[in-house]
Amino acid sequence: MIRMRQVFKKTAENNSKVFENHLGDLLDKTWEVVTVSSNVIDKCLIIESKSENGKYIHLLMMSRNLLSDCCCCLDALERGHERTILNNLRMILEDLCCIIEATENEKVYEALQNGKHQASESVSFAKKHYPTLDIGYLYGMLSQVSHHTSSDLFVRQWTNKDGLVSHIKPFAPNRYQTQLNILLWTTLFARLIGEVAEKSHIDALEAPYFWTKQKIRNPSLPINIIVSEIAEKIEKKFERLDAL
């Protein structure tokens, strides 16, 4: 058991080094987006701690947990544990949709508190409130790839040199479309988590980050440059992969 653990950890560490050489710049940018949303949630929590609004404190803590899930996805991606990430991303999107609806609907929040609300039921509501973000499309795509048939599951297995089915898939320098997609999804979700958290606190914030005081998305954000840079680099890497 001890040797297996050591081999597992060493394989993950080696994968991290290779990942850093090929996609380290994009990984760092994605972490920047997570940091921005984390700082926004901190400011909102300070406001709610003074008002002692239990509902919004609860929803903000849920948002913070979702950012933690994003961090776990990034760490798992770097180490090669990509098989579990798509399920986690789907869960993040479901829970975020739940936060969006619970913020607006007191009955949904009460059902959430009593454990009687399924997060997946809030996807339709979130689609209507954020129509430009293709939440429905993203949810459908994640549902398709995370709830696989037996044949899909077989293809996604990887057998290491010892003949063991492994959760660590070696990073292939010439085939990393999956990793690029996961980086982009995590970037979009981390940003949206910050946007949703801040939107309910715009009036109380001295200087909102994602929104204007009129609840219009701020068009000139440093984070927009980061997200665009990530998307542009991913597009170029896709083009390079297609040419191979």
pLDDT in tens, the chain (244 residues): 567 788 888 888 888 998 999 889 889 999 999 999 999 999 999 999 888 778 999 999 999 999 999 999 999 999 888 778 988 999 999 999 999 999 999 999 999 888 888 888 999 999 998 887 789 988 988 888 765 544 454 444 444 555 544 555 666 666 677 888 889 899 999 999 999 999 989 988 988 999 988 888 887 788 888 888 888 877 776 666 566 5
181 in a domain, yes or no?
A: yes
Within its chain, how far is the Cα of 68 from the centroid? 9
132 in a domain, yes or no?
A: yes
Alpha-carbon distance values, 79 to 3, 15, 85, 161, 235 (Å): 18, 5, 11, 18, 23
pLDDT at residue 20, as a whole number: 92
Taking the CA atoms of 138, 125, 222 and 49 in sequence, report the sign of the dihedral they define: negative
pLDDT at residue 159, as a whole number: 47
What is the domain count for the chain?
1
pLDDT at residue 169, as a whole number: 62
138 in a domain, yes or no?
A: yes
What are 217's strand-pairing partners?
211
Opening angle at CA 179, ends 178 and 183, nearest 5: 120
Question: Running DSSP on this structure, what letter comes out for residue 175?
Answer: B
Q: Which domain holds residue 80?
A: 24-243
pLDDT at residue 150, as a whole number: 43
Within 8 A by CB and 6+ apart from 226, the residues are: 29, 32, 33
Opening angle at CA 231, ends 227 and 234, nearest 5: 140
Element containing residue 11 per DSSP (H, E):
helix 2-51
76 in a domain, yes or no?
A: yes
Cα(164)–Cα(115) distance, rounded to whole angstroms? 39
Long-range contact pairs involving 95-98 (C-beta distance under 8 Å, separation at least 24) = 95/62, 95/66, 95/119, 96/63, 96/66, 96/126, 96/189, 96/192, 96/193, 96/196, 97/122, 97/123, 97/125, 97/126, 97/135, 97/139, 98/62, 98/122
pTM above 0.95, yes or no: no
Cα(233)–Cα(29) distance, rounded to whole angstroms? 11
Which two structure tokens, joined as six digits, stand for 135? 């939440």
pLDDT at residue 241, as a whole number: 58
104 in a domain, yes or no?
A: yes
Cα(178)–Cα(60) distance, rounded to whole angstroms? 30
pLDDT at residue 4, as a whole number: 76
Cα(87)–Cα(125) distance, rounded to whole angstroms? 21
Q: Report yes or no: 185 and 29 within 8 Å, Cβ to Cβ.
A: no
Segment 169-212, tens digit of pLDDT:
666 666 677 888 889 899 999 999 999 999 989 988 988 999 98
Cα(241)–Cα(244) distance, rounded to whole angstroms? 5
